[in-house]
Amino acid sequence: MTRISVTVDGTRYTDEVEPRTLLVHYLRETLGKTGTVIGCDTSNCGACTVHLDGRSVKSCNVLAVQADGREVTTIEGLATDGELHPVQQAFHDCHALQCGYCTPGMIMQAADLIAHTEDLTEEKIREGMEGNLCRCTGYHNIVKAVQQAAARPVPVMEVQP
């Protein structure tokens, strides 16, 4: 077992994990952060996307030990002071979800894309979101939601040194 200390959604956790434990399993099974979803076994779907030090990663493709000393934000930490994050609000406004299985990962990826991309065209949105799959709807409203959110100021997430 290996001891790790990780800040997740603003709270510091210290736990013993097996070196092989995936970050997504640590978040869901140890911390109960079930808003982060497992949608595949192949690193393809993006449902497990979280932010690691402010950038999106597929948490099924990262070991928990790799998050040691770092900051993770999940979908459960995106809203602040009871206010939805602009990307969450835009997904709601634009009806950009149906079953919602893919939605947490979509929102986390979109938030990173908006925060780190200049001149976010529809083409850049589609390219930036291509690692996130939705099985039950078209992507049209998802793209519209990202465009709406991009038009608003998106809060910059604090990353601890």
Provide the mask over 22-61, with x wherever binding to ligand FES is found by CB under 6 A and - wherever it is not: ----------------xxx--xxxxxx---------x-x-
Q: From the list 2, 30, 66, 137, which residue makes contact with ligand FES (rule: CB under 6 A)?
A: 137
Is there a contact between 68 and 6 (Cβ–Cβ < 8 Å)?
A: yes
Between CA 65 and CA 145 the distance in angstroms is 34
Q: Does 102 bind ligand FES (CB under 6 A)?
A: yes
Q: How far is the CB of 34 from ligand FES (least distance, A)?
A: 13
Reduce the DSSP state of residue 135 to 3 states and report it: coil
Q: How far is the CB of 129 from ligand FES (least distance, A)?
A: 12
Q: How far is the CB of 92 from ligand FES (least distance, A)?
A: 13
**Residues in Cβ contact with 55 at an 8 Å cutoff, skipping those fewer than 6 apart:** 112, 116
Work out the end-to-end distance of the chain between its first and last CA atoms, rounded to an integer number of angstroms: 26
> What distances in angstroms separate CA 43 from CA 57, 135, 157, one per listed residue?
10, 15, 25
Q: Does 72 bind ligand FES (CB under 6 A)?
A: no
Is there a contact between 113 and 146 (Cβ–Cβ < 8 Å)?
A: yes
- Nearer to ligand FES among residue 79 and residue 136 (C-beta): 136
- Nearer to ligand FES among residue 138 and residue 153 (C-beta): 138
Residues of this chain that interact with ligand FES (CB under 6 A) are: 38-40, 43-48, 58, 60, 97-103, 134-137
